[in-house]
Amino acid sequence: MSKKHSDIDDILRKVFEPKPTQIKENLEELFENRIDSLSITKTTALKMMGMTVRTLDGILTGQQKMLDYTQLIKLSNFLGVELEETTVLYVKKLQEVHNPEEDLEKMSQKVKFVNEKFNLAEMRKVGLIKSLSDYDDIIERLCNYFGLTNILDYREPDINVAFSSGKRAKRNCAIMNWMYLAEKTCIELRNTNEFDQEKLVSYFPEIRWQSMDVDNGLVNVIQQLYQLGVTVVFIPSFPSLHIRGATFEVNNKPCIALTDYVGFYPTLWFALVHELYHVLFDWDEIRLSSYHISQEQQKSLDSHSANEVEADAFAREYFFSTSKTNEVRGLIKNDNYIREFALSNNVHPSFIYTFYAWDTPDADKYSWARAKKFNPDTTRLLRKIDFPFGNNMSYSEHIKNLRRTIYN
């Protein structure tokens, strides 16, 4: 064979000889090239892999430090790359983005902090977090809900608080979390109106009749109190809490936090007026004392207990007194009569049924069932003031929405 023919054969062999593909040292480029070659979108690729955009982006950028290994298998199959090579590229990206030893120490610190400051089982129960072991996701969700840039920025509040609580109120993670949200929300709402106690007293008679408007009445009162220098916010309750509300100080002005303690509409209003009693009569004490915690059926005779009894009595007399309950006792089953009687007393009918049930728990075994039956649907009301645990809205978005719709 001549040298010419030998050269031609060598050239042809090189042209048609398959060469091993050189894997690019970048998963992001591999992914982009793959979807380009298939002429599909990233969204389609995610559906094909059964993967979330957060997980994929975390793998490609090296931000996803904790990972279910099956996700790498899915990506490897999609890219058409050996699993071992995909894993090597992922680990290499992790090493570029993170210092393993330093990150491990920081993560260990955060995990310890989170376990000390938050009851994760309770957080999962209310839907705030989805996992008890994926701390990257836990921390991200907690930061999103509590308005934190770094979870280590969370500080248990040291504020003067007057609690209106249920039977088992105690200092625990949930109380600290609830208080933190209450204080932070009032700070972020930035009430620039001066607090005028005399104007608050003058406004008081306007509160009760607003209760008849389930969807808008409480929001109207919150707006009007804000103009008087009193900031009232709604903070959702954790299951372990038995708190109706709290009164505390921000920038020398009274703030009140309410919660949906037992799901009864009248309780929201009762708690509001209970807390306003503290603003009117215990304000100096609240500003000076470290904590003012009160519990239902509290047997001690300290000043806090006495104040709570007086605040409860004030709220009860304001809305629907015991004497009025006694007046309607014999006609409690007459729905039309109760409705008319409530209208003439400027309260929602549910107040009569709830107070009657409270007064006669043993005398009428159907009293609470009746109160529940006539308890109005508060869905539209709470939608305006609530920040649900399971929602995807960030804390900053929640505050902006409140400023735009209520606190302005």
Tell me what pLDDT residue 33 has. 86
Between CA 140 and CA 146 the distance in angstroms is 10
Quick one: DSSP state of residue 295? Answer: B
Tell me what pLDDT residue 329 has. 87
Where in the chain do CATH 1.10.260 domains reside? 3-97
Instruction: Give me the long-range contacts of 68-74 (CB less than 8 A, separation at least 24).
Output: 74/49, 74/50
In this structure, is the dihedral angle defined by the CA atoms of residues 27, 32, 35 and 41, taken in order, positive or negative?
positive
Q: Is there a contact between 26 and 55 (Cβ–Cβ < 8 Å)?
A: no
Tell me what pLDDT residue 290 has. 46
- Taking CA atoms, 176 is separated from 58, 171, 220, in Å, by 32, 7, 29
First to last CA, the chain: 94
The number of residues making up the chain comes to: 408
Q: Is there a contact between 284 and 268 (Cβ–Cβ < 8 Å)?
A: no
Between CA 244 and CA 107 the distance in angstroms is 36
**Interstrand relation of 161-165 and 243-250 (parallel, antiparallel or unpaired):** antiparallel
The pTM assigned to this predicted structure is 0.72
Which residue intervals of 171-233 are DSSP H helices?
173-189, 197-203, 217-227
Beta sheet of 243-250, edge-to-edge order: 231-234, 253-258, 243-250, 161-165, 291-292
Nearest to 343 by CA among 212, 228, 161: 212
Find the radius of gyration of the CA atoms of the chain: 31
Between CA 247 and CA 154 the distance in angstroms is 21
Tell me what pLDDT residue 17 has. 44
Q: Is there a contact between 139 and 114 (Cβ–Cβ < 8 Å)?
A: yes
Tell me what pLDDT residue 301 has. 33
Nearest to 294 by CA among 176, 159, 170: 170
CATH of 3-97, one of 1.10.260, 1.10.760, 2.20.100, 3.40.50: 1.10.260
pLDDT along the chain (408 residues), means of 10: 53 42 66 87 89 86 75 87 84 74 77 93 93 90 94 82 52 85 93 93 93 95 96 92 86 91 90 92 77 42 64 91 88 92 92 90 80 93 92 90 93
For the record, the structure tokens of 225 come out as 């109190």
For the record, the structure tokens of 344 come out as 């003439």
Task: Show the beta-strand stretches assigned E in 11-52.
Answer: none
